[in-house]
Amino acid sequence: MNNSATRKPLAFVLAVCCLFPVAFLLFQSAARRWVYPNLLPQEFNFSAWRTLFQSGHLGGNLLLSLGTATAVGSGATLAGFLTSKCISYHRWRKPLLFCAYIPFVISPVIFGVCILFLFIKLRLADGFFGVVLAQGIIAYGFATVFFGRFWNAQLRATEELVYTLGGSVWDALVRALFPMARGALFVCFCQAFLISWFDYGIVLIIGGGKVETLTIRIFTFINEASLPLAAASSCLLVFPPMLLFWANKKFVLTLPNERL
């Protein structure tokens, strides 16, 4: 069978599967008077979108989610990159790398409950920095594992070459390691960003309802049975991941000689 003949139908099916959830959310956000046994809504309008943008809260929720996810993604990626470098050259590499798995193999809700008392004592609960730190612990463990197989003898030899030529640790990072790892750094940032972006359990427990991200707002609409508002907010929730996936395909996959 011709491979080109089968690729197009498979690509079409894959595109439909990926775009259907977003299309259904858009459909749900405009649906009105949709009751059983009607297969389609009896009315369509975009009043839910007008309500969201006129309420004045959505912009704050969106910016808060973006700020939290960006802070978590940037901090966890940098910390995980440096930590994995130390672990990869350590004689206890496997036990240390195993410890890095612990934060993100636990359910976020259980993890949040376990650290809640400590965060209350440190006065980090019910605040933005507490949520960033709690999510950052999980993302930090993920980033450390992500870069666990990145380091090899060639990278170490390149780093030692910088020292031989009179460079400092900063020169080795900025002029050698970071440029060689820019693709992997971006991919790790995207994954850590999404860990924070879609999180609900930790924000609810550590944030205590005072840190109202976009996910918290969506579940509030669901609990209030405001399905059009929840669907419209969910459309905004899936937009940044789609943008990151596009950027990953556009820039990262075109970088030559990357170790991803």
Q: For residue range 30-85, list pLDDT tens digits in order.
A: 777 766 776 777 777 777 777 777 666 677 888 889 999 999 999 999 999 999 88
The pLDDT value given to residue 192? 92
Query: Is 50 domain-assigned?
Result: no
Q: Are 150 and 183 in contact (CB under 8 A)?
A: no
Domain membership of residue 18 (yes or no) is no
Q: Domain total for the chain?
A: 1
Instruction: Identify whether 28 is part of a domain.
Output: no
What per-residue confidence (pLDDT) applies to 178? 87
Angle subtended by helix axes 128-146 and 182-197, to nearest 10: 140
Alpha carbons 257 and 153: distance in angstroms, whole number: 16
Instruction: Give me the residue label for tokens 């195993």.
Output: 98
Handedness of CA 47, 48, 53, 56 (dihedral sign): positive
- Mean pLDDT, range 145-149, rounded to an integer: 86
Copy the structure tokens of residue 233: 């907010």
CATH number at 232 reads 1.10.3720.10
Beta-carbon count within 10 A of 174 CB = 13
29 lies in some domain: no
Structure tokens at 107: 């359910």
Q: Has residue 244 been placed in a domain?
A: yes
Is the distance from CB of 233 to CB of 217 less than 8 angstroms? yes
Long-range contacts of 220-229 (CB under 8 A, 24+ apart): 226/48, 227/28, 228/28, 228/29, 228/30, 228/31, 228/32, 228/47, 228/48, 229/29, 229/48, 229/51, 229/52
Task: Write down the mean pLDDT value for the chain.
Answer: 82
| Structural domain includes residue 36 | no
44 three-state secondary structure: strand
* Residue span of the structural domain in which 79 resides: 57-254
Asked whether residue 191 is assigned to any structural domain, the reply reads: yes
Between 258 and 236, the more confident residue is 236
Residue 5 has a pLDDT of 65
Percentage with pLDDT > 90 across the chain: 15
Pick from 132, 248, 124: which is nearest to 197 by CA? 132
Cα dihedral sign, 67-229-107-85: negative
Tell me the one-letter amino acid at 170: W
* CA–CA gap between residue 189 and residue 210 (Å, rounded): 26
Q: Is residue 3 part of a domain?
A: no
Cis peptide before 37 (omega within 30 of 0): yes
| Paired strand residues for 44 | 31
